Amino acid sequence: MLEAAIPKWVDHHMLDCSVPHGYGLPIPTGAGEGLRAAAMVYADALAPSTKDERHRVLLGLRSGTIVRDEHAQEAEATLKLLRVHLEDVPLDILEVACRAYCNAPGRRFFPRSAGELRTFINPLIHQRKARAAHLIRLADQADREDARAAELAADPLRPGDVQAILAEARISRGLGNPITPPGLAA
C-alpha cells in the first residue's frame, strides 16, 4: 500500500487537504529525505500497466458487465481500442476504476470507449499526482526549516544582543515610551 511509504508522523488528512501556509503541523528535523523517498514511491506508482495486464483487467470487466450483441471481431477491436487508450493507466488504478465502474448504480454495459472508464480513473491519478507533489513541497519545507535551524544554531542570539539591536534602531521596549523616528526627537 502506498500510504506505508509515508513517514508515520505525517497526518494523512492534513497532507491531502489544502492548507494556506503548507502542511500546518510541525515537521521533525531531518524529515526531508524520508518525504522525498515517499514522493518517489508515489511517482513510481504512476508507471503504466503493461498490455497484458490491461487485457486481463478488461476481460474481467467484460465478464462483470452487460455485453452488447456483437461479432467476435468487433469485440476484439473494442478490447484493443481500450487497451491502447488506457496505456497510461497504472494497473492498480485500472483495477479500482473497473470495480467502481461495475459497482456504479444502474445497468452497466461493457464500455465502448475509454472515456467511460476515465470518469473513474482520472480522479485516482490526480490524487496520486497531487500527493506526490505535496510530499515534495513538504520535503522542501523540511529542508528550509532544517537550514534555518542550522543557521540560527551557528549564530545564536545572546541576551545582550536584543538590547543592542533595539538601541541601534532607536526602538523603545517600554509601553509608555512611543517610538520616535530618527530626526524627529524633541
Determine the distance from the C-alpha atom of residue 41 to the mean position of all C-alpha atoms in its chain, rounded to a whole number: 11
CA atoms in the 13 A half-sphere facing the CB of 12: 10
Say which range, 44-48, 69-73, 118-122, has the weakest mean pLDDT.
Answer: 69-73
Q: Is the pTM of this model over 0.85?
A: no
Lookup: cell for 48:
503504466
pLDDT tens by residue, 59-99: 999 998 988 888 889 889 999 999 999 999 999 999 999 99
3-state secondary structure of 40: helix
Closest residue by Cα to residue 125 from 84, 86, 80, 99: 86
Q: How high is the pLDDT of residue 115?
A: 93
